[in-house]
Amino acid sequence: MSTIKLKKGFDLKLKGGITSPDKLGGKIVGKICTIVPDDFHGITPRLDKKEGEHVAAGEAIYHDKVYEAVKITSPISGVVKEVRRGARRKIEAIIIESDGQDDVVNHDLSAPSLEVLLASGLWPMLSQRPYDVVPNPDERPRDIFVTAFDSAPLAPSLLKSAQMQYAAKGVEILNKLTDGGVHIGFAKGETQEISGAKVYEFDGPHPAGNVGVQIANISPVNKGEIVWTLDIVTLCRIGELFTTGKVNFTTFVAITGEQITEPCYVETVMGCPIKDILNGKLVNNEYENRIISGNVLTGIKVTEEEWLRAPYRHITVIPEVKNRDEFMGWLSVNPKRFSIYRMFTSWLTGLNKEVSMDARMKGGERAIVRLGEYDRMLPMDIYAEFLIKAVIAFDIDKMEQLGIYEVAPEDFALAEYADTSKIELQRIIREGLDRMRAEMA
């Protein structure tokens, strides 16, 4: 086991965290679940089921138009209630209504491992570097990297959701799919030895839990190389699939944030309605709620009428707070104001205390100012500010030289929070990766 210490980054400690990984808020058995194709970047959906047709848990709902073997499967047994479409008939959501039956697909484990994995619906839970998309099944990766912890604000414990008894089997399967090795990164103090894997311990602030940061500090991705990434929960689901022949679509969801009465975990199924998960758990005060499927840095804004989005493990609720006037604005000396740059007096009482934050931007977009802000938040050997400028200009040569193959939007999430220029760094990186992938195709 190797220990890697990271100094760059920052742990943003928000109010509303779960005090104990054993704090359960019950089990939620929803009547519907929803699949959102946009959650699986790089897949163009082509339906296998129409509205009104029956589907078993683990049966394909749609497949990728380009790589037809890549399947997206239903988490529950039921009927396809609605295929919701948007502009130009784009599929925005597929809603499945439960029939209350335990109709589950059993996979033939005598088939090749890759074939079983593609048919199971677990394949889209993997990601590929470069481009941060669902992997191409026709290409073999140099290495496979697994992160066993999430260091984002209020993030849940991944080991809470992972069925660790299946981890070694999952590693065994993945080792068959790569010419290199399977690397697993644990947080300091949580390390477990897993047969067949190379284990690393990471000691440092967020984004230490990002798999891209772990790759950069273990074995960076160079031009022409491909690596696959996933989290420990998906690794254990793969192991369980190749042990039992069935996919486990159950997930533990962390409900966190200042607007939650009692932060806790709930057991439910992937794609469960938000209103079912948050029922009776919201604080009743004068503020509107900003509901986020995911964490505050990379999550997706949703409403109570929407659904839990992939990777199906975290909901954060913070105050929306609109039209609040503050005396002297950004010049305020209010000791409750927080800044990672020590611009307010709150730093005198320590930056490690829990703070209250809302959804206001407190500023507008402006030109990039070279202050080294991005570099302080990104423990990777790249020049982040120059990379962002190269992506905006779409200078492919510069993008390659500055490390575009190593990064994903989530790696820039903390830098986006700390950016005084209020630039949407994650969107810029996502658009740059997509344009480059299309150019290189």
Give residue-wise pLDDT tens across range 247-276.
Answer: 999 999 999 999 999 999 999 999 999 999
Q: Is residue 362 part of a domain?
A: no
The pLDDT value recorded for residue 329 is 64
Judge whether residue 348 has pLDDT over 60: no
Write down how long the chain is: 441
Q: What is the pLDDT of residues 380-422, one digit of tens each?
A: 999 999 999 999 999 999 999 999 999 999 999 999 999 989 9
Q: Are residues 341 and 379 located together in one domain of the fold?
A: no
Give 13's DSSP letter: -
- Distance, in Å, from the CA atom of 438 to the CA atom of 441, rounded to the nearest integer, reads 5
Percent of the chain whose predicted confidence (pLDDT) is above 70: 94
Q: Is residue 280 part of a domain?
A: no
The SS3 of residue 184 is: strand
Q: Are residues 134 and 175 located together in one domain of the fold?
A: yes
Which among 432, 429, 434, 436 has a CA at the least distance from the CA of 415?
A: 429
Tokens of 265: 């975990």
Give the mean pLDDT of the chain. 92
Give 177's DSSP letter: T
- State which residues form the domain around 394: 373-440
> Which has the minimum average pLDDT: 30-39, 331-340, 422-431?
331-340
- Distance, in Å, from the CA atom of 150 to the CA atom of 28, rounded to the nearest integer, reads 24
Which residues in 270-358 belong to E strands, given as ranges? Answer: 289-293, 300-302, 314-319
Q: Are residues 19 and 115 located together in one domain of the fold?
A: yes
Q: Are residues 222 and 342 located together in one domain of the fold?
A: no
Tokens of 65: 């138009």
CA dihedral 9, 428, 433, 120 (to 10 degrees): 70
The residue from 311, 331, 357 where one domain ends is: 357
Asked if the bond preceding 141 is cis, omega within 30° of 0, the reply is no
Give 79's DSSP letter: E
Q: Is residue 368 part of a domain?
A: no
CA dihedral 220, 222, 228, 233 (to 10 degrees): 20
- Distance, in Å, from the CA atom of 433 to the CA atom of 311, rounded to the nearest integer, reads 21
Q: Are residues 32 and 112 located together in one domain of the fold?
A: yes
Q: Is residue 153 part of a domain?
A: yes
Q: For the residues 424-430, what does the mean pLDDT come to?
A: 97
Q: Are residues 56 and 117 located together in one domain of the fold?
A: yes
The total number of structural domains in the chain stands at 3
Structure pTM?
Answer: 0.94
Number of Cβ atoms within 10 Å of the Cβ of 340: 15
Which among 94, 98, 95 has a CA at the least distance from the CA of 47?
A: 94
Q: For the residues 234-253, what does the mean pLDDT come to?
A: 97
Q: For the residues 53-79, what does the mean pLDDT come to?
A: 96
Beta strands 289-293 and 198-203 are unpaired
Beta strands 227-231 and 143-147 are parallel
User: H/E element holding 25?
Assistant: strand 24-27
Beta strands 182-187 and 198-203 are parallel
Q: For the residues 35-59, what does the mean pLDDT come to?
A: 96
